[in-house]
Homo-oligomer: A and B are copies of this chain.
Amino acid sequence: MSLGSKLKAVLVDLSGTIHIDDFVIPGALEALERLRKSHLKIKFVTNTTKESKNTLHQRLTRIGFKICQEEIFTSLTAARNYVEKQNARPMLLLSEDALRDFSGISTDNPNAVVVGLAPESFNFGTLNKAFRLVLDGASLIAIHKAKYYKRPDGLALGPGPFVQGLEYATGVTATVVGKPERAFFTEALVSLGCQPEDAVMIGDDVTGDIEGAQKIGMKGILVKTGKYRDGDERKIDPPPSCVAENFASAVDLILKEGT
């Protein structure tokens, strides 16, 4: 396991890697400060679909992180960028808060459907509207295709099953904009002016974070916090470049080996 010795940028996952809800992963605040003292560029990349960037930023600030909004790249931002590039007028299946990240985007006479995590939109009537639009030629855009997510009361369906259902009904394959898609990592690196081989991804999700990043040529450090489960590092081939106990250890590893 090695990072090489010429890193220029670090992509950092948020939930499960530096915080879980309103709790800081122990040592993460100080580790981020250490990382900031190096020459390395930093971007925080996340698949959030429920929270707008503003809400997410407020939460991180409240629990003690010194991060500015411009440093955060979310799957919602990726979706907005994609919609703008395509000049699309999307029907938005998104939570009320996530909708804020699409303010100013025209949704009249829609020619696209964007699906995030929107339990209140996942009903027959709304899904049927989306189905008919796609059947009539609208493009289908998925924030990501997570199968499920953790809620205080247990596991709950993610956006993936609903995207999958719409794909099955229409025969159209969705454009997925979030992790682990190549385009997501590429876009985050472009914003830093950095090549994949000069960058490392730190995250707790072995497929979403590590496999995705490594597929475009980045290094990957899997942390054993958040959704990490014993043996996750053996679930992908090639395995993660490195495995670290937590974000603080990952940062130490980078400062020692990757700079």
Contacts and interface: CB of A to CB of B under 8 A. Distances in A.
A122 B160 CA distance: 15
Contacts of A164: 161, 164-165, 168
11 contacts: A119-B125, A122-B124, A124-B157, A127-B161, A131-B148, A131-B161, A135-B155, A148-B169, A157-B165, A161-B166, A164-B165
A120 B124 contact: yes
Contacts of A147: 168-170
B157 A161 contact: no
Contacts of A236: none
**What number of copies of this chain does the assembly contain?**
2
A229 interface: no
A185 interface: no
Interface in A124-177: 124-125, 127-128, 131-132, 135, 147-148, 154-158, 160-162, 164-166, 168-170
A123 interface: yes
Given A123-B122, A123-B123, A156 B128 contact: yes
A119 B166 CA distance: 15
Interface of A: 119-120, 122-125, 127-128, 131-132, 135, 147-148, 154-158, 160-162, 164-166, 168-170
Given A122-B127, A164-B164, 6 more contacts: A123-B124, A124-B157, A127-B157, A128-B156, A161-B166, A162-B165
A104 B84 CA distance: 55
A100 B123 CA distance: 24
Contacts of A119: 124-125
Contacts of A122: 123-124, 127
A167 to B, nearest CB: 8
A168 to B, nearest CB: 4
Nearest to A165: B161
Nearest to A151: B128
Nearest to A154: B132
A148 to B, nearest CB: 6
Contacts of A148: 131, 169
A59 B148 CA distance: 42
A36 to B, nearest CB: 39
Contacts of A165: 157, 161-162, 164-165, 168
A29 to B, nearest CB: 35
A154 B128 CA distance: 10
Most buried by B among A124, A158, A169: A169
